[in-house]
Chains A and B, each alone.
Chain A
Amino acid sequence: MHVETDVLIIGSGGAGMYAAIEAARAGANVFLADRSLIGRGGATVMAQMTVAVALGEEAPDHWSHHLADTIQAGRGLTDERLARLLCEEGPECIREMDTWGVGWARRDGHITQAMAPGHDRPRCAYVDFLNTGPAVSKTLRTVVNRTSGIRKAGDLLVVDLVRHDGEVTGAVALHLSTGAPVTIAAKATIVATGGLTRLYRRNSASANMGGDGYALALRAGAPLIDMEFVQFFPIGHLAPRLIGMDPIMWDPFRYKLGGRLLNAEKEEFTERYGTREDGRYVITRDLATYAIIKEVEAGRGSPHGGAYLSFEHCPAEALRAAFGPVIDRLAANKIDLTKMPVEVAPIAHYHMGGVAADPRMETEVPGLLVAGEAVGGANGANRLSGNAITEALAFGRRAGRSAAERVRGGGHAFRAADAHEAIALVSANGGPDLNTAAMIQRLQATMADDVGPFRTADKLTRALATIDDLAAALGERPAGDARPFDMRRIEWLDLRNGLMVARIVAQAALRRTESRGAHQREDFPGMLPEWQVNQRARLGDGRIALDSLPVAAAVAAQ
């Protein structure tokens, strides 16, 4: 099967859908592909939290203040050009979402903006109750559906990009519900596949966030940057078992109600690590993650190995007013916040690194663009809370616009011969009998145990050895068959990408012999001026090569 389009967009989260709308508005034909269902997988739909944006509705604000906070959070590694795009164009996207009926929470006739850690003023908009991501996804999906010029294709897993003379000319995909290969010819391709947090055992992402877009870009010749920086969300839900809720749901509770972070002895402890909270919510993510892990190591963790989060001091009426029906969903899980604390622990949440891109969202490879979390650099070594949805929308919009501009330049250069290798991979039958589900679990365990927030040379070296073992077991021949929804085939392809990406994270973490933001080396504590550089990864002759370069902001001063 073969498809021709102006713009191919891979991934239909917030970034991919906004890119599709913008490219179509600019006159391009768009083919929007997702390995899952349109607008259902990925990270956006999972985001129950807030959107940081300088609207100035709650208090006077300007994008330059948001930019200053974003740069401060990034610990010296932020690409200021990309961060500026996020902060400056975010308000337009958020206002446009408002006209599309997303339903930002309002109070006294203005959009409500909450205070969040790391921000100098109340800046974070949201949709009640815990509904920001689902509302954003649903709204964009509705607009995609009424915009002419966008074809949609769910259950389409892009396996490799296709190149001709160094340009990306399209892609080869596996159609999951038939098992058939599909070639897609495109004048511009946007990777909007999100990050890599599925590579960790405990994560807040969808099952399809396994770093596949990074691997696609890397194999097509584009470099990745800042891959060692994985953000852990400090208060991911740990216990009691909670179903039907996103594990990062406690963040909005803390924005609205504060909440006390306690150790096994029911004492507040973050002051021991430099931040006094007093029931307020002021601690940044990297410091909270550090404080909880150190408290557990000192033998003062909660029963399941985390910390307690308590709202027991909050009256039932205040809880009900702030979270309405969510209180009933908690009750269905036998959780009464007025009578008991919950247990929380750090959980892999976001990836600061990604594909290197310029402010037009173009990569080094002609024809290949990138959007959303898949972009590296905008958040430096640590992302400010609330910036992820803003970046998805602002980067998606910009990528769609740039792709449409490229399309006006002429015809596509897709040649069937360039796709043969990838088609052969997708079409192979009679592959080895591997337990791919167990292999993914082993990779997730290794990443969590040895490439987590606190790293040492020993742990990282051990992780690389496990990744080598898994890669050897995976081999070159795909497991399963080219038949409808063969999950061994899907997971083999995921491991082909995930092992490559996991290896880069571990190698970059081993090479960075300092501690900065989300990358903490227990054997190299302290931030070093000579490490104020971005690490860049390239693929050449089947091997990963890393080098360092000056922070992009330095070379792009305006």
Chain B
Amino acid sequence: MKATLKVWRGRDAKAGRFETYEVPFEPGQSVLDGLRWIRANRDPSLAIRFSCINANACKECMMELDGATVYACTARLEPREMTLKPLHNKTLVRDLVTEIAPPAERFKG
């Protein structure tokens, strides 16, 4: 079985595009598993943010799945088309990565 991930790509919030990837699907997997598979097997330039991978401890992998805000590490991968976008209310950095740190914890040059 396959899951289809339709992923928003770009560095300009107004000029992005979607790229669609088919990824292997096993019951129990997370959306983050699918994104990491894409990076290792299809396109290492895809930007995603995560630290803890699986534990829902770092809270870094926030993104929008079919319009709802989720953690990619706890959202289940499903054998259907799933649309992934960066958080719309945060400043875009690249692809699915946004500025999510509180302002006082960001680098200021």
Q: Which residues of A contact B (CB under 8 A)?
A: 1-3, 33, 36-38, 40-42, 45-46, 48, 133-134, 145, 152-156, 175-177, 180, 182, 206-208, 240-247, 333, 434-438, 440-441, 480, 483-488, 491
The CA-CA distance from A437 to B38 in the complex, in Å, is 9
Asked if A245 and B97 sit within 8 Å, CB to CB, the answer is no
With a cutoff of 8 Å between Cβ atoms, the chain A residues found around residue B54 in the complex are 242-247
Asked if A207 and B50 sit within 8 Å, CB to CB, the answer is yes
Q: How far is the CB of A136 from chain B (nearest CB, A)?
A: 12
B15 within 8 A of A: no
Q: Which 9 A-B pairs have the closest CB atoms?
A: A241-B28, A1-B109, A153-B107, A41-B51, A206-B51, A246-B55, A437-B39, A437-B40, A244-B56
With a cutoff of 8 Å between Cβ atoms, the chain B residues found around residue A486 in the complex are 45, 47, 94
Band of interface residues on B: 35 or more
With a cutoff of 8 Å between Cβ atoms, the chain B residues found around residue A246 in the complex are 52, 54-55, 57
Contact A243/B74 with A133-B57, A485-B94 known, Cβ cut-off 8 Å = yes
B101 within 8 A of A: yes
Contact of A177 among B45, B55, B99, B105 (CB under 8 A): B99
| Total residue contacts A-B, CB cutoff 8 A | 136
B1 within 8 A of A: no
Q: How far is the CB of B34 from chain A (nearest CB, A)?
A: 12
With a cutoff of 8 Å between Cβ atoms, the chain B residues found around residue A1 in the complex are 109
Asked if B11 and A155 sit within 8 Å, CB to CB, the answer is no
Contact of B11 among A33, A36, A156, A484 (CB under 8 A): A484
Contact A41/B58 with A244-B73, A333-B28, A435-B40 known, Cβ cut-off 8 Å = yes
Q: Which residue of A lies closest to B104 (CB)?
A: A152
29 contacts between A and B (CB under 8 A): A1-B109, A3-B109, A36-B58, A37-B58, A42-B51, A45-B57, A45-B58, A46-B57, A48-B55, A154-B101, A154-B107, A155-B107, A177-B106, A182-B109, A208-B51, A241-B27, A245-B55, A246-B55, A246-B57, A247-B55, A435-B40, A435-B44, A436-B44, A437-B36, A437-B40, A484-B94, A485-B94, A487-B45, A487-B48
With a cutoff of 8 Å between Cβ atoms, the chain A residues found around residue B46 in the complex are 487
With a cutoff of 8 Å between Cβ atoms, the chain A residues found around residue B6 in the complex are none
With a cutoff of 8 Å between Cβ atoms, the chain B residues found around residue A3 in the complex are 109
B60 within 8 A of A: yes
With a cutoff of 8 Å between Cβ atoms, the chain A residues found around residue B97 in the complex are 177, 485
Asked if B93 and A484 sit within 8 Å, CB to CB, the answer is yes
Give the contacts of B40-72 with A (CB-CB under 8 A). 40-41, 44-60
With a cutoff of 8 Å between Cβ atoms, the chain A residues found around residue B108 in the complex are 153
The CA-CA distance from A331 to B72 in the complex, in Å, is 19
Asked if A175 and B107 sit within 8 Å, CB to CB, the answer is yes
B13 within 8 A of A: no
The CA-CA distance from A156 to B50 in the complex, in Å, is 15
Asked if A37 and B105 sit within 8 Å, CB to CB, the answer is yes
Asked if B55 and A46 sit within 8 Å, CB to CB, the answer is yes
Asked if A243 and B104 sit within 8 Å, CB to CB, the answer is no
Asked if A244 and B26 sit within 8 Å, CB to CB, the answer is no
The CA-CA distance from A152 to B56 in the complex, in Å, is 23
The CA-CA distance from A101 to B103 in the complex, in Å, is 25
Known contacts A36-B60, A435-B40, A485-B97; 5 additional CB pairs below 8 A are A37-B101, A38-B101, A38-B105, A208-B51, A484-B93
Contact of A153 among B29, B40, B49, B106 (CB under 8 A): B106
The CA-CA distance from A83 to B44 in the complex, in Å, is 42
The CA-CA distance from A42 to B58 in the complex, in Å, is 9
Asked if B109 and A206 sit within 8 Å, CB to CB, the answer is no
Contact A145/B101 with A36-B51, A241-B28, A244-B55 known, Cβ cut-off 8 Å = no
Asked if A182 and B107 sit within 8 Å, CB to CB, the answer is yes
The CA-CA distance from A46 to B56 in the complex, in Å, is 9
Asked if A155 and B57 sit within 8 Å, CB to CB, the answer is no
Of B46, B107, B108, chain A has the most CB atoms within 10 Å of the CB of B107
